[in-house]
Amino acid sequence: MEIVIASTIVPFVEGGGTFIVDWLEQALQQRGHSVFVWKIPFHSDYREIVDQMLGLRLLDIRDYGERLITIRPPSHLLRHPNKVLWFIHHHRTAYDLWNSPYREFPDNKEGHAYRDLLFSADMLAFREACRIFTNSKVVARRLMHYNSIAGEVLYPPLMEPGRYKCRSYGDTVLYISRVVHHKRLHLAVESMRYTRTPVKLIVAGKSELDTYRQGLLELIEQYHLHEKVSYNDGWISEDRKQELLADCLACMYAPVDEDSYGYPTLEAFHSLKPVITTNDAGGPLEIVEDAVNGFVTAPSPQAIAKAMDTLYNERERAREMGIAGRRRIDELGITWDHVVEQLLR
């Protein structure tokens, strides 16, 4: 089948939102489909989004492909007779982050007008879709809450889960993520002030804003955490990541009300490592169960430090939790076979 995958991107920013596109392309090609991937640069400034939505609406791709799969909005505005949405998040600053410091729209008539327009455009796109999948229950809930639209949850797998391995349960907790504020790597760093065991923390990932990166370094400096925390600046290679995962004690992933469970969680479980997250992390709570395959703590450094210490002191328990995490992936049926079957149904 000829399939078009369309998604918006922020050029040169890679993460969950781009991997899902690249990996879906590979998964479809491996199953004999012909794929055209269309990554559309998107400027998220509220004053720019209306023009761009109009542009997507006007670009006529109706003749191309027997199916259009759209991933990151507003690619869902593209017209196509056989449009399937794998909806990974709303334009969040206009939706669930409206009443938060992350809101980018001004709270005045102008801002509200832009927001209303975005809402109507989204509704149009949802109504046109043949089928709507979401990457998590969190996003499905938001879709119901804000748009009264029912979405089916379709969890995104890793591309090559077989590459992850487990060698040992060392003394390091690993936090691999894009280094941006809402991923809350600072919470992991601050936790290290309160640990009582010799547990260590490795933070690794590419930073987008230098101020946040700098803030992390200052935290380490301020609390003299050099011996306990190491910060791997920059994008980490797959090989290096798998090596770190193979020998770490556990992983941490505690973003602010994230849309999906996050690939770091899957990577941890495929490496048979438990995951520490927080009760306000959103998506990760769909897969991480407290005291079963990791710890779900309050979003406080003290609580996280306690979880780290527990895992450090009880390696056997850490191992059992990691194995339970791997089982959880199977229970939820997170495989490309399932994803492709659903998207092409």
Partner 1 sequence: MKVAVVNSCIPFVAGESENLAEALRQQLNEYGHPAIIVSIPSRWHRPSAIVENILACRCLRLPQIDLMIGLNIPACYLPHPNKVLWLVDLRHIQDLPATEEAAKVRETVIAADNRYLREARKIYAISETVSRRVRSFNAIASEVLYPPLLPNRLHWDHVIRKLIL
Residues 146-165 that bind partner 1 (CB under 8 A): none
Name the residue nearer to partner 1 (CB basis): 77 or 318.
77
Measure CA 267 to chain center.
12
Positive or negative torsion for Cα 288, 293, 296, 302: negative
CB 227 → partner 1: shortest distance, Å? 35
- CA distance to 107, 205, 266, per residue, from 262 (Å): 31, 14, 7
CB 310 → partner 1: shortest distance, Å? 42
- Which residue is listed with tokens 């199977």? 330
Name the residue nearer to partner 1 (CB basis): 64 or 165.
64
Structure tokens at 169: 């349960």
Name the residue nearer to partner 1 (CB basis): 7 or 293.
7
Q: How many helices (H) and strands (E) does the chain have?
A: 11, 12
Q: Are 188 and 203 in contact (CB under 8 A)?
A: yes
The footprint of partner 1 on this chain (CB under 8 A) covers a number of residues equal to 29
CB 11 → partner 1: shortest distance, Å? 5
CB 2 → partner 1: shortest distance, Å? 6
Name the residue nearer to partner 1 (CB basis): 39 or 315.
39
Q: Mark the segment that binds partner 1 (CB under 8 A) among 9-17, 93-101, 157-165, 278-286.
A: 9-17
Residues 24-83 that bind partner 1 (CB under 8 A): 34, 36, 38-44, 48, 51-52, 54-61, 63-65
Among candidate residues 232, 216, 136, the one with its CA nearest the CA of residue 180: 216
Name the residue nearer to partner 1 (CB basis): 38 or 114.
38
CB 47 → partner 1: shortest distance, Å? 11
CB 64 → partner 1: shortest distance, Å? 4
Q: Collapse the DSSP code of 179 into the 3-class scheme (helix H, G, I; strand E, B; otherwise coil) and give the result.
A: strand
Name the residue nearer to partner 1 (CB basis): 65 or 262.
65
Segments in the chain forming alpha helices (H): 16-30, 46-58, 109-128, 137-147, 185-191, 210-222, 238-247, 263-270, 301-313, 315-331, 336-343
Cα–Cα dist 10/17, whole Å: 10
Residue ranges that bind partner 1, judged by CB under 8 A: 2, 4, 10-13, 34, 36, 38-44, 48, 51-52, 54-61, 63-65
